[in-house]
Amino acid sequence: MSEALAVISEAEVDNLTASALLASIRSERDTENAAAARQLDIAARWADLHPPESIHLAAAFTTPGSEHEEPIAGEGCPLVAEFCVAELGAVLGISTTAAKKLIGHALELRHRLPRLWHQVHAGMVPAWRARSVAEATIHSVPSLTRDAASWVDDQVSAVAGRVGVAQLDRLVQEAIKRFQLAAPGPAADPDDGYLYVDPRHVTVHDQDVHFAGTIHVEADLDLADGIDLDHALAHDAATQKALGSTETLDVRRAKALGNLARTQTALDLAATAFSSGGRVADEERGGVSRPDLPNLPAAREVVLHAHFDADMVEETTVFGPTGRMENRQKLLFLEQLQSWCGDSRTTITVKPVIDLNQNLSAPGYEIPARIREQVILRDRTCVFPHCTRPARGCDIDHVTAYDHDAEAEGRYQPGPTQSDNLACLCRSHHRLKTFTTWHYAMTQPGVFEWTSPHGHQFRRDRSGTSRIEPEPPARP
């Protein structure tokens, strides 16, 4: 029946004129915006139903690498119980972090940006645009007071939310100045303030990996440091060219920066001659050995976990052309891995194949390294619905809790330390499982079925998360 309706609907669209098609898609967009506005309202109502018992149990954003926490909404907004967020996210098919943002934006708009909140529900401003304003006022540095946020609300609502990112940033900065929220810094210059904020930084955008296997790096350096860096890159690039590299200057400078990161492994380049393709050749291919050069130690150790499928072809191991880099959950080409191993002093450790379907076990509560590695490779990420935290940074949880008193009292151990009772959970969702009525079971290796406090069920496997729809009632 649904397929027949789809055919009819498709036929109706095909018969529309160009003007009618534009009117139709405009109507669909209005419907979409109205639905998004209702979702914001429902998210705020969900927060109203779940106040925390104390400030320590309120939902917040954690800052990686520190104990600092940021509230999900600004000053004057009600706090929300930490553990209520995950269920809303799971029902919406989004991560817990995304659900925090949704609730935070809803509360920020309702309590600190009321004019914009009204415009969203009046259909004057789309929800996504209002949420961008809320994001800016929530995470402003320094934080905006209610009066400062109200001033931003006045400015944005006056133009029905039609502000771009740059203009919004200027409004927030103007609010900080108007309400004197910025505390003077120890490096502030009394005349023109050019030393107020030290602009030096180096940012490696390692979450945005290009298909070619490159990432973007940007930096602001001290003048002397920048000139020295430029000279070092120019010298290394010239050395590569003198040794036979035919790559472009930009490529050679980029490789030179990588060499500096490895404590000037350009010295290694002098140990062997470059091939016509720009790679170091070994002695079997006519390279010139330089044993008199020092055997430098690696500047630092970076461990990359690369996974490739392999087959045996006439007693020869043949690797597939593509694999997966576990550290960033990115596609990896075999040629890339080979070039990395060839261009630096790299120690390669090939670990034995672990059968991910084998049910390994160990006595006691502690999880041996081999079982831990198997569970990490099997699960890849935290197994909570829609969570994508890498498994290697997660806790290993006993799905059914281990009973520490069972052995002493001569009872059966309900939660043994074995593969089919272990799963990767990030610290947040580990606490959620421990302290709330969320519960889950492993139905087969790497496949988990979760049940939320309100009875919603989800299946999580290596392909992602899907909703388990309840069985329809049997007909009498």
Give the integer Cα–Cα distance in Å for 41 and 39. 5
- In this model, does residue 75 exceed pLDDT 90? yes
- In this model, does residue 89 exceed pLDDT 60? yes
CA nearest neighbour of 104 among 55, 183, 46? 46
Residue range 358-369: average pLDDT? 93
Give the integer Cα–Cα distance in Å for 141 and 131. 18
Owner of token pair 């905006």 = 144
pTM of this structure: 0.72
Is there a contact between 362 and 398 (Cβ–Cβ < 8 Å)?
no
Position with higher pLDDT, 160 vs 65:
160
Give the integer Cα–Cα distance in Å for 381 and 389. 5
Torsion angles phi and psi, residue 458, rounded to 5: -140, 145
- Of the listed ranges 32-36, 103-107, 225-229, 437-441, the least confidently predicted one is 225-229
Give the integer Cα–Cα distance in Å for 100 and 225. 41
Q: How is residue 280 annotated by DSSP? A: B
Q: Could you give the C-alpha distances from 301 to 202, 304, 348, in angstroms and in order?
A: 20, 10, 12
Is there a contact between 82 and 97 (Cβ–Cβ < 8 Å)?
no
Is there a contact between 305 and 368 (Cβ–Cβ < 8 Å)?
no
Give the integer Cα–Cα distance in Å for 71 and 300. 36
- In this model, does residue 280 exceed pLDDT 70? no
Is there a contact between 61 and 74 (Cβ–Cβ < 8 Å)?
no
Most confident of 112-126, 260-274, 401-415: 112-126
pLDDT band at 256 (very low <50, low <70, confident <90, very high): confident
Sheet strands (E) in 46-138: 60-62, 69-71
Tokens of 272: 């062997």
pLDDT of residue 257: 87
- Give me the count of residues in the chain: 476
Residue range 270-293: average pLDDT? 41
pLDDT of residue 441: 97
